Amino acid sequence: MDNLLLNVEDLKTHFFLDDGVVPAVDGVSFHLRKGETLAVVGESGSGKSITSLSIMRLVPAPPGRIVGGRITFAGEDLLAKSEKEMRDVRGNRISMIFQEPMTSLNPVYRVGDQIAESLVLHKRMKKKEALEQAVEMLRLTGIPSPEKRVRDFPHQMSGGMRQRVMIAMALCCQPELLIADEPTTALDVTIQAQILELMQELQRQMNTSIILITHDLAVVAEVADRAVVMYCGKVVEEAPVAELFENPLHPYTRGLLNSIPRLDENVDRLFMIDGVVPNMLRLPPGCAFAPRCPEAREHCRETAPRLTRVAPGRLVSCLLVEGGAA
């Protein structure tokens, strides 16, 4: 794979709390090619956000800490970088968009200044030049009369507008990788579609790679090339999107697919797999999904499965899948 951009190997990020260790990310591996869109899906608490914060080296510490693994970005070992070297990567070569557009912008600064701040920092632009560039970025994200809106404060904008500002801010330095952590979850459906379209359009223009974190499988189907399914801090399945939808191998993936909401349903209740996510402080010894798995056998509860390649581009971590034995 010569066009490999990001390679995450056996990443472990744990939270050291008073009452125990939470293995929020526990041996996660995946890779990303240039220009590709990789979806990371899973229920709430499965470790999606902590995985992306680990790549940025922004895990809240304490209590969190990256305790193992390797993250290689454009041939460079991110975990070996100093804090100063990481600052040159953040916002410049790897950018992030967050789930909460309403609160992710600083309320006391004009949006233009917030975009310009990145350009001044990473591209050594003069303030005036950076503000002009900020207007261009806002124009690119489809905000009407951007030369006026740069002077707006965040509270003067709607959620959709603010997410466009976040996108403009994330892409203004033309990063090689954009990590979008549930960028549309907080927005209503029509705005969601516009924002996703915008991200794809800008991806084409700038040849950015995207990691799209979501628990909305409909979004995955629409925009991603490949998908990684996470459960309790581990990758349980990885596949090209078309194949994942056609032939899901892991019972958890099947559960997710069966519970894609219809449009008229409440968006908050996405997943209706029976049972609840286990307590991360006391994970079961075998497969973490076994207690909820309709197909679980006796040895599923005793032996932990490993992520195994079962076909080209297809990986699964389940004892029930042929060739997927530990």
Smallest distance from the beta carbon of 87 to ligand ATP, in angstroms?
A: 22
Please write down the HEC assignment for all residues of 123-185.
HCCCHHHHHHHHHHHHHHCCCCCHHHHCCCCHHHCCHHHHHHHHHHHHHCCCCCEEEEECCCC
- Which residues on neighbouring strands pair with residue 94, listed in sequence order? 90, 177
What does the chain come to in residues? 326
Out of 23, 91, 233, 286, name the contact with another protein by CB under 8 A.
91
Task: Tell me whether residue 187 or residue 256 sits nearer to another protein (CB atom).
Answer: 187
**Distance spanning both ends of the chain, measured CA to CA:** 27
Q: Any contact of residue 184 with Mg ion (CB under 5 A)?
A: no
Task: Find out whether 22 and 59 touch, Cβ atoms under 8 Å.
Answer: no
**Contacts (CB under 8 A) with another protein, residues 286-305:** none
**What is the Cα gyration radius of the chain?**
20
Residue 234 lies near ligand ATP (rule: CB under 6 A): no
CB 250 within 8 A of CB 317: yes
The residue type found at 318 is: C
| Interface with another protein (CB under 8 A), residue from 166, 270, 273, 319 | 166
Among 117, 182, 216, 237, indicate the residue that binds another protein (CB under 8 A). 117
Q: Does 89 bind another protein (CB under 8 A)?
A: yes
CB of 63 to another protein, least distance (A): 12
CB under 5 to 8 A by kind: which of ligand ATP, another protein, Mg ion, none does 166 bind? another protein
Cα–Cα distance for residue pair 313/174, rounded to 1 Å: 29
Site string for another protein, 223-252 (x = CB under 8 A): ------------------------------
33 neighbors 209 (Cβ within 8 angstroms)? yes
- Asked if 226 contacts 209 with a C-beta cutoff of 8 angstroms, the reply is no
Which residue lies nearer to another protein by CB, 107 or 312? 107
Residue 158 in contact with another protein, rule: CB under 8 A: no
49 touching Mg ion, by CB under 5 A: yes
Q: State the minimum distance, in angstroms, from the CB of residue 210 to Mg ion.
A: 16
Applying CB under 8 A, does 118 fall inside the site for another protein? yes
Maximum Cα interatomic distance, the chain, rounded to a whole number of Å: 67
CA-CA distance, 120 to 238, in Å (whole number)?
A: 39
Number of residues that bind another protein (CB under 8 A): 28
Per rule CB under 8 A, is residue 92 in the interface with another protein? Answer: yes
Rounded CA gap, 123 and 310, in Å? Answer: 45
Tell me: does residue 42 bind ligand ATP (CB under 6 A): yes
Closest to ligand ATP by CB, 15 vs 252, is 15
> Which residues form the interface with another protein (CB under 8 A)?
56, 58, 86-92, 95-96, 98, 100, 103-109, 117-118, 121-122, 153, 155, 166, 169
> Which residues form the interface with Mg ion (CB under 5 A)?
49
